[in-house]
Amino acid sequence: MIRLTLKLFLFLFFIIFSKISGQLYQVFQAVNVEKYQGKNFILEGKIFYNNDINSNSWMVLSALFLDGKGTGMKGMIHSDDAQIYYKKGEWSPYELKGKIIKNAKGIAVGISVAGKGSYYLDDFKLFVLEGKNKIEVPLKNGGFEDASLMPWQSYAKDEGSKMSISTAKSLSGKQSLFIDNSAAVVTSGFGNNKEIGKLMDVNGVKLYYEVYGQGEPLLLIHGNNSSMASFNNQLEVLSKKYQVIGLDSRGQGNSTSNDTKLTYELMADDVNDFLDKMNLKNVNVLGWSDGGNIAVILGMEHPDKVKKMAIMGAVLYNNKTSVDPKINKILNQQVNEMKANGISENDMNYRLKILLLTEPNINPDALKKIQAPTLVMAGEHDVMPEKHTKLIADKIPNGKMLIFKGGNHEAPQNMPEKFNKAILEFFEKI
């Protein structure tokens, strides 16, 4: 049953993933893991980049748990950050760890590819941990030594993308999987709309933006190492009632960067200057994660620019009272791995991680400068404790807190109907 319905659940997988990270090309096979329910697993694969990695072009390992009908269970999991494993000019050892959920009958394991680069994949393996033992779960053609690609299946391949068994490069054996997206035709859409997207010179960089709809202006400010496209589930609903302005922060999405030290204050100044050049004041603002931090500083330092603001998953500072210590532990590990792999400290991905670890540094009492009515949101299982979200809401003179029950930091994506309803009700309330 799992094999027969592979295309169905890969379609569901693509829908989930594409809303987070944009257009992707996937290669997967399904494996029965019923007897390993509840056990930890490790997915390994070696990737060689023919082109330098960047924020728009990368490959990661991915997995989706399946029920007995081959339907995806919960959400997709993947190697969160392609950059930390990347070794220029070498085979890069990628890894994905997780736990096989209860009632899972199978798991679809494979890769997800974004951008127009080309890559080789070799030595793709799945392991289950039983105590101290690392047991390999057999995959078919995981070393790509067979002439046929079966049972590997591709999905959402762009026009011009190619996949083949190659003898040109291999880590072990004589062959590897070659993914060539160099001639791919990338579909235009939100965050990459060639017809309406524009660049504006702001503070020594070029900020990319797109405008949709009519009405009061509503500015979208995205999270760390992301782009306006992360608001994909909000665009259609909001643009029916507002003039929605999607903006990519410096060094992210389609915006450029320079060597100026990254701070949230700098990015708030970027937004302020951007709005000045757009001849806009008194706009509504929706900020998510880093975007929420930027919105808070914008509301403090440039109150004339903000009519109302809704912020999701924002923090005032980073310590054990405001951010789950596990998050900082992971970030520190990633930074150390990037250093070990020779990644430059001027690399934007590196700089954005340092930003998360060292910023913001906002005094809670300074929030009294915010004049705009503010909706302060977080998920019940967010990366920051509820008491920190409450602190922000309480310190803003006209602040209101909303916690999404059962939600996490990704509520705009994971529960868009509830999130969008809350946003519309807040902005429309007189």
The distance from CA 229 to its chain's CA centroid, rounded to whole angstroms, is 10
Tell me the average pLDDT across 161-184: 92
Look at residue 254 in the predicted model and tell me its pLDDT. Answer: 92
Look at residue 387 in the predicted model and tell me its pLDDT. Answer: 98
What is the tens place of the pLDDT at every residue in 300-357? Answer: 999 999 999 999 999 999 999 999 998 899 899 889 988 888 888 998 989 999 999 9
Does residue 83 or residue 178 have the better pLDDT? 178
Q: Which of 332, 191, 309 is nearest to 252 (CA)?
A: 191
Tokens describing residue 269:
């100044």
Tell me the average pLDDT across 183-202: 88
The fold of the 198-428 domain, in CATH, is Rossmann fold (3.40.50)
User: Domain 6-180 belongs to what architecture?
Assistant: Sandwich (2.60)
Look at residue 156 in the predicted model and tell me its pLDDT. Answer: 62
Residue range(s) in the chain whose domain bears CATH number 2.60.120: 6-180
Tell me the average pLDDT across 244-265: 96
Look at residue 82 in the predicted model and tell me its pLDDT. Answer: 84
Residue 5 reports pLDDT greater than 70: no
Residue 1 reports pLDDT greater than 60: no
pLDDT band, very low/low/confident/very high, at 24 (cuts 50, 70, 90): low
Cα separations in angstroms, 39 against 24, 72, 75, 108: 29, 18, 18, 16
DSSP code string of 94-108:
EEEEEEPPTT--EEE
Which stretch, 131-135, 275-279, 325-329, 331-335, has highest mean pLDDT?
Answer: 275-279
Buried residues in 103-132 as b, exposed as e (16+ CB within 10 A): ebbbbbbbbbbbbbbbbbbbbbbbbbeeee
pTM of the model: 0.77
Residue 146 reports pLDDT greater than 50: yes
In angstroms, the CA 263 to CA 206 distance is: 17
Tell me the average pLDDT across 401-418: 93
Residue 126 reports pLDDT greater than 50: yes
pLDDT band, very low/low/confident/very high, at 185 (cuts 50, 70, 90): confident
Residue range(s) in the chain whose domain bears CATH number 3.40.50.1820: 198-428
Residue 367 reports pLDDT greater than 90: yes
Tokens describing residue 20:
């987070």
